[in-house]
Amino acid sequence: MRMNEVTFDDSRPVDGYGPGFFRVGGEIVEGAVIILPSGVTVWGGYGDVARLVAAAGEIDVIFVGTGAEIAQIPRELRAALEAAGLGVEIAASPAACRTYNVLLSEGRRVGLAALPV
């Protein structure tokens, strides 16, 4: 088996997560997080739609992590993201983080908005 080290260029992968936090590019972010090519910020949750919609020029797909378990997101959030031209993928936060990292390593234009576990 051949192993290759994954490189992320200037992007910031999710290195880890735990109760109430994410570790992104080696830095701890308390609470919910938004990770975009332009940077990492705290996310206000499902009602914090404007920053995600504003990212439509930077990314093609946004992964929404719903916490420890997969759950539906509010219809208004999905509608706003799709109206902005973003693909929306919903998953439990651990799965959303893993998938985000894989696509990020492939150079894809992805973002992550995740609630903590």
CATH number at residue 71: 3.40.1230.10
d(CA 92, CA 112): 12
**Closest listed residue to residue 101, CA positions, set 66, 65, 70, 77:** 65
Q: What is the pLDDT along the chain (117 residues), one digit of tens a residue?
A: 443 455 555 679 999 999 999 999 999 999 999 999 999 999 999 999 999 999 999 999 999 999 999 999 999 999 999 999 999 999 999 999 999 999 999 999 999 999 999
Cα–Cα distances in Å, from 57 out to 9, 19, 37, 92, 115? Answer: 20, 32, 10, 25, 23
- 3-state DSSP assignment of residue 36: strand
Tally of domains within the chain:
1
Residue 65: Cβ-neighbour burial (10 angstroms; 0-12, 13-18, 19+) = buried
pTM value is 0.91
Range of the domain at 83: 31-115
